[in-house]
Structures are given as structure tokens and as C-alpha cells.
Amino acid sequence: MMSTETNKAIVRRLWEEVWNQGNLSVCDEIFDADYAAHEKGFVPVLRAAFPDLHFTIEDMIAEDDKVVTRHTMTGTHQGEFMGVAATGKPVRVTGIWIHRLADGRIVEGREWGEWDALGMMKQLGAL
């Protein structure tokens, strides 16, 4: 089993390098081959809608093989997102994700997250 600090560093790469920098090649390094990494499909969509997208890690807690991240996403709505045309409005969205790691790779987690999608839609004026 990897140390909790090593696991946190791997998950931090997900937020910093994949989401904040849009570096999708990192997915091949940090995700297990059997894990369906939706990030490769969703990161470009979110970054196209919010070109200045940034995730700030507010808290990161690790125990055994799991890492929990509480984050805040900020960005300016410059492109279509979830059927909503660009509004130019800034958004601030909170979320919490749990990832499970094995042998230095993320093996589960996409389905273990919550983010304030309703709050985002309200900020965009869609609701």
C-alpha cells in the first residue's frame, strides 16, 4: 500500500495538472488502465466553457487507500455548458470528491463526488 502522502500527491496532480492545466496526458500516468477516466472527455468540455477554470484545494484528507478533496472551482462562463449559452458570468462552485488508489494509481472515484451543479446553474441565470 502506498503512503497516504503519496496518494495525496497523486490526487493533487489530478486537480493541478489535469483540471487546472488541461494536461490530459497525465491521466495515463495517474489512472489505472481499467478505470474509466471520464476526465479525458469532460475536462475539455469544462475548460472550453470556462477558459479561466481553476480548482482550489480547500482540504485534502487521506486514510488507507482513499483521498478526500474539498475544492472550490472558479471560472468565467465563456462558452456553452450543459445547454446554457455563454453568459460572461463568473462562477464559484464547491465540491467534494473521494478517490481510491491502488499501486500508485486512481482506481475509483468519479462516481464518489458531489458538486453544487444547482448553484452553478443559478449563478449562470439558467434557473
Topology of the domain comprising 4-123: Nuclear Transport Factor 2; Chain: A, (3.10.450)
Q: What average pLDDT does the segment 39-61 reach?
A: 95
pLDDT value of position 76: 99
Helical ranges in the chain per DSSP H: 4-13, 25-30, 39-49, 117-123
CA distance 88 to 4: 40
Tens of pLDDT, residues 79-119: 999 999 999 999 999 999 999 999 999 999 877 899 999 99
Cα distance between residue 96 and residue 80, in whole Å = 24
pLDDT band at 41 (very low <50, low <70, confident <90, very high): confident
- pTM comes to 0.92
Task: Check if the beta carbon of residue 93 is closer than 8 Å to that of residue 126.
Answer: no
Alpha carbon distance 25, 67 (integer Å): 21
pLDDT at 33: 85
Question: Which residue do the cell numbers 475539455 mark?
Answer: 44
| Among the ranges given (30-44, 61-75, 86-100, 109-123), the one the predictor scored with the smallest mean pLDDT | 30-44
User: Residue 37 pLDDT more than 70?
Assistant: no
Per-residue pLDDT for 71 more than 70? yes
pLDDT at 36: 63
Q: Identify the CA nearest to 39 among candidates 64, 11, 1.
A: 11
Q: Which residues contact 101 (CB under 8 A, 6 or more apart)?
A: 2, 7, 10, 11, 65, 66, 67, 107
